[in-house]
Structure 1
Amino acid sequence: MAGTVQSVLGVGATLGEGPIWFEDAVWFVDIKGRRVHRFVPATGAARSWDMGAEVGWILPAATGGMIVGLQTGLHRFDPASGALQLLHRPEPGLPGNRLNDATTDAQGRLWFGSMDNGETAATGRLHRCADGHCSDAGLPPVVITNGPAISVDGRTLYHVDTLGRTIWRVPIHDDASLGTPVRHVTIEDGAGYPDGPTIDAEDHLWIGLFGGWGVRRYDQAGKLVGSMRFPVANVTKMTFGGADLRTAYATTAAKGLRAAERAAQPQAGDLFAFDPGVQGIRITAAKI
């Protein structure tokens, strides 16, 4: 990693999350602000959409448009018109839950998590959508799920238990079922909470640290091999963008900051960029 971290879009998100690089732009959400944001680095153009409900993530859809994870369920989103179409309600019996972070694998399967919106009950589950069918992926429930992230070869899933400060490594079988989780990384006390994970082209795991002032990079064995410090405390997730996927873009949050902390961190909630010194992986559109 080289250089410094810089704010590239001053949105002041309450809870920025889920950045992706798609069609020469960074797309991300403000969960509590109920908005989807789009930023084009080449021109500086920015646009946002009101989702009408808390929105955990946005991903491209293989059939066109985007898929968003709202508290009310999975929706198809048309950026041109702003229209939303309900596709699936994953947890109709848990109105206190919301969706929180997602990814796709190379086959276009959609993996997404849920969490207790009050951040106290262990009702967060990991879900999988494949071949038009969505189901619970079978991992033990936690209060706040984050991720997952998928290894380069598609054989390993990294699942984050945020309040447990643990990143789990889980085998993915040929039929997309999951094996037994193995503890991969535990974030030590005082270093913040593990938030959104991302995989780079060297199969290393990057993790945002909520309350930890930065991001970290871990190798396949779970060894810490790099980090980047931010000027704001709550770093939620990063992605790789640019024509060569060699620029890191990271979302941050103002959520939970006291007045004095907010004054000391005027860029909290902005979108940041830095040079990670490594290339990322292009996203696969969701086939649901």
Structure 2
Amino acid sequence: MNFRHVKYFVATAELGQVSRAAMELSISQSAITTAIKELEAQAGAKLFDRTAQGMELTQAGRRFLASAYRILASIEEALSPGVADEGITGTLSVAASYTVLGYFLPQHLGRLERRYPNLKIQLYELSREMIEDGLVTNRFDMAVVLTSNVNNPELSTDTLLSSQRRLWVPSGHPLLSAESVGFREISREPYIMLTVDEAAHTTLRYWNRTDYQPSVRLRTSSIEAVRSIVANGQGVTILSDMVYRPWSLEGKRIETIIPSEPVPSMNIGLAWRKGVELTPSMRLFREYFSETYQTPQSYLPR
């Protein structure tokens, strides 16, 4: 067993399909298939059930996934460049929205704390409007936000990554076997509308460019509620890959489909007041993220 075996296994487990894992890792599907077969042979257990919808973890696979996350985290820690820089001191006030704080920031905060133990990052979770106002009035130094939602001309932004939006459906849904799934087909399904971080506004914005409207069954601010309702066959939704997980809290499978018509991605990045002189702590924070997302990253647990 080597690092690649574990990395390919985790990618396949999280994305649910060899093809998606191969695309994410920029390698061939055969390389992933071979690695999984070798890993199963060494583990002496079947880790995946191959189905028409993709790759489903077996009980042994779920147990191994927990260990795989620990292995990757240990490797990432061992390969982190440099040592802790105790000379960097100060306090940095950083605002973040709900989605960013829950699904993007935690791993980076851990790395920053290990790298700069004397840099204190004060976090605030707020709505986009309150974050923008806080940056303009200097209540916050920087923010990590959905830059695709920022529209204040007094702010500068750096987009770090774009997370593709896909249609979420329960395992076995008829749309999984359709040749093409567009807004017409989606509009015929009960739709679960996420409302947190202006998700509903964003959703309606791209739906309004079409001849169709979603048949909204429920509006909720809970991503876990959306996940469970979709997994239990009560509706579908369109959300980004950043918040996607293949399993609901009840252990039911969620599949994804790339719509045949364009859906804008969700962009995540930094924001700060335009024209402000960046303090050393602000420059360090910005440089960390620029370095992280301009350098090809190994596939690590989200």
Q: Which one has the bigger strand percentage?
A: 1
TM-score (norm 2): 0.28
Q: Which one has the bigger helix percentage?
A: 2
- Bigger Rg over Cα: 2
